[in-house]
Amino acid sequence: MSPDSFDKDALNPTAADLETLPRVADKIPWRVYTVAFVELCERFSYYGTQILFQNFVQRRLLTPTGRAPNPGGDTDNNPGALGQGQQMATGLGTFFSFWCYVTPLLGAWLADTYLGRYKTIMVSIGIAVVGHVLLTISALPPVLARTETALISFIIALVVFGLGTGGFKPNISPLIAEQIVSENLRVSIDPKTGERVIIDPAQTSARIYNWFYLFINIGALIGQISMSYAALYVGYYLAFLLPTLMFLLCPLILILNKKRYRLTPPQGSVLGPTVKTLLYAVRPHWSWNPLRTIRNVRRTPTFWTAVQPSRVPSHKRPSWMTFDDAWVSELRRGVKACSVLLWFPLYWLTYNQMNNNLTSQADTMRHAGVPPEIVSNLDPLTLIILIPICDLVIYPSLRKRGVKLTPIRKITLGFWFGGAAMVYAALLQRYIYTHNECGYYPSEGQREDPSDGGSNSASANLRDCPPASISIACQAPIYLLVAISEILASITSIEYAFTKAPRNMRSMVQAFSLCMSAVANVIGEAFLWLARDPYLVWNFGVMGAVAFVAGSLFWWFNRDLDAEEDAMNQLPHGSMGRGSNGAPGDRQHQHQRIPHPESSGSSRGVDASWSDLGRTSNESRENLLDDKRLR
């Protein structure tokens, strides 16, 4: 359901409304789509270049520009440049992914503390453009002729490019969701059907991030296809130049629309109070045995309420405790979100196979003139098709039938679909090993070419192994399954990081989410010895097993969070602008109360701040959830 407009004077829902009325997303303003288009341009440049890295590093230079000698044939149809082998290519690709997903911590800190999201994005775009230029220089024919120089230039370009990406990524996704004004549940009349509905900010955020992810994959699809063909038929210098030009659209769009955006100013350092609050809360439960510490914390229902400023006597209150009770509630919610996101390295470990080993697998199959990188575009193509179907058809249909596809359930299913993709990849790799001339070494093996027998060159009479007797189209189910897993897990993680983060830490929590990809790349380095022949069957099989087991454990440890979803989403915004005396600061937003689902329509409400977290000192205790909900 996508209503054109809703009653601005809508009412807060009662407990009966929460149980019976359908939930819909609010109208999405036009400015959201301009931010999404900026992300499209950035992802065009990112994925359009990243997809080329594997063959650029792995395969040897056969033409001055790196293009394929025989594009369109079944042999000599792959571009290449540096000739460093699959293991080096996979290692550099893993490093680049790690770097791009650890630098967001710096970008988020700058945005939340000093520059704000908009300025940080603009500075990061400038840095990324420099990286793109260096990347293009490394692919110029005179530079490619000197392999060591090209390799050094390429690595420097990766470092600069990744630094710019790190400043951009944690700030663009919070910026797009902040363009929505309403943050509270409210009852209104659907102008199309006339029925009463609940306008749910969580549904609005979910819709925004679904379409945000759609724009990401439109950019990725166009970038990957155009860059792959540019490298295949012209050379790598053109393939790296085109995304540079596309990326230059980003600052232009942001400047033209700046006055239309809702921009959140930086609010000073929050990391210090966050760390101090956590240490202050843990101190009474500390043990040198970390397992005992965790057990003590989990068994203490007042763990978070004990660090609310209103609960700490003024003569014992630290000078740094300049926030109100509601901010503690937001912090607790953010910690819960981070505990969910901590599982994602095991998901990204599976997803990252698309960027390296699946490209190398496609290299060893028959592809009739189609660049091996192109088949990976089945992933964004599938996402472009399925995201609108899920958002406009499948999800609303499930809600009407009472099926609650909650964030935790979505993420669990995402893990399992990713695992299924890797199991299929392992079976396909087994077939390739048993149906090619080089046996278990189709990627690195070579065979003699009798037509070059008279050459004086030591390597002139060697040609790469011919492809296995199986079409590249057989990889399609892998990318279909991965795409489904992304819709369920990846999109949900972006949404979860935004909706559960404290208002003044949204970039930081988003950076934490992105950093899980960096952790995945560190873990991936431990599996690097499997990323070559003849171990690729084991590589894909292990990844599949990890995804299935991780998804099952994720569900077991986080299944209780679904019951708290509404309460977490409707917490009041905390304030950091108080003095050390502990008096509540000015509220920028009204505190909303949500009826307890078990109150059966009673007028008695449950505080939106998750039990007694975030409540002011004069609120009645009888309106609070019991302490079990705090665990």
The per-residue pLDDT for range 184-243, each reduced to its tens digit, is 788 888 787 788 888 888 888 889 999 999 999 999 999 988 998 899 899 999 999 999
CA proximity to 467, closest of 453, 484, 447: 447
Flag whether 367 is in a domain. yes
Is 355 in the same domain as 278?
no
Is 23 in the same domain as 113?
yes
The per-residue pLDDT for range 125-181, each reduced to its tens digit, is 999 999 999 999 999 999 999 999 999 999 999 999 999 999 999 999 999 988 887
Is 151 in the same domain as 187?
yes
Flag whether 576 is in a domain. no
Q: What is the pLDDT of residue 578?
A: 47
Flag whether 622 is in a domain. yes
The per-residue pLDDT for range 526-541, each reduced to its tens digit, is 887 887 778 888 999 9
CB 332 within 8 A of CB 504: no
Examine the fold and report which residue of 519, 545, 566 is the final residue of a domain before the chain moves on: 566
Is 524 in the same domain as 616?
no
Is 303 in the same domain as 369?
no
Is 614 in the same domain as 626?
yes
Pick from 273-282, 410-419, 492-501 the range whose average pLDDT is largest.
Answer: 410-419
Flag whether 555 is in a domain. yes
CB atoms within 10 A of CB 21: 17
Is the pLDDT at 484 greater than 90? The verdict is yes
Q: What is the pLDDT of residue 417?
A: 97
CB 371 within 8 A of CB 358: no
d(CA 360, CA 355): 9
Q: What is the pLDDT of residue 72?
A: 64
Mean per-residue pLDDT for 429-437? 84
Q: What is the pLDDT of residue 449?
A: 47
Is 146 in the same domain as 255?
yes
pLDDT above 70 coverage of the chain, percent: 84
d(CA 370, CA 356): 17
Q: Give the confidence band of 13 by pLDDT, cuts at 50, 70, 90.
A: confident
Is 513 in the same domain as 561?
yes
The per-residue pLDDT for range 365-415, each reduced to its tens digit, is 877 666 666 677 788 899 999 999 999 999 988 888 888 888 999 999 999
Mean residue pLDDT across the chain = 81
Is the pLDDT at 545 greater than 90? The verdict is yes
Q: What is the pLDDT of residue 345?
A: 94
Residue-number span of the structural domain to which 151 is assigned = 15-70+78-267+343-448+470-566
Is the pLDDT at 599 greater than 90? The verdict is no
Q: Give the confidence band of 74 by pLDDT, cuts at 50, 70, 90.
A: low
Q: What is the pLDDT of residue 75?
A: 57
Pick from 39-53, 348-362, 452-466 the range whose average pLDDT is largest.
Answer: 39-53
Flag whether 584 is in a domain. no
Flag whether 463 is in a domain. no
Helix (H, G, I), strand (E, B), or coil: what is residue 617? coil
Is 52 in the same domain as 23?
yes
CB 127 within 8 A of CB 167: yes
The per-residue pLDDT for range 114-140, each reduced to its tens digit, is 999 999 999 999 999 999 999 999 999
Is 406 in the same domain as 283?
no
Number of domains in the chain: 2
Residue with tokens 């014992």: 316
Q: Which of 6-20, 112-126, 330-344, 511-525 has the lowest mean pLDDT?
A: 6-20
Flag whether 1 is in a domain. no
Q: What is the pLDDT of residue 622?
A: 33
* Burial class of residue 448 in the structure, from the number of CB atoms within 10 Å of its CB (0-12 exposed, 13-18 middle, 19+ buried): exposed
Examine the fold and report which residue of 566, 582, 612 is the final residue of a domain before the chain moves on: 566
Is 240 in the same domain as 188?
yes
Which one is predicted more confidently, 623 or 147? Answer: 147
Dihedral angle of Cα 442, 444, 447, 448, to the nearest 10 degrees: 160
Examine the fold and report which residue of 566, 584, 617 is the final residue of a domain before the chain moves on: 566
d(CA 372, CA 369): 9
* Apex 355 CA angle, 37 and 366, nearest 5: 110
The per-residue pLDDT for range 38-66, each reduced to its tens digit, is 999 999 999 889 889 988 999 888 889 88
Is 165 in the same domain as 297?
no
97: CATH: 1.20.1250.20
Flag whether 222 is in a domain. yes
The per-residue pLDDT for range 86-105, each reduced to its tens digit, is 788 888 887 898 899 889 99
CB atoms within 10 A of CB 133: 16
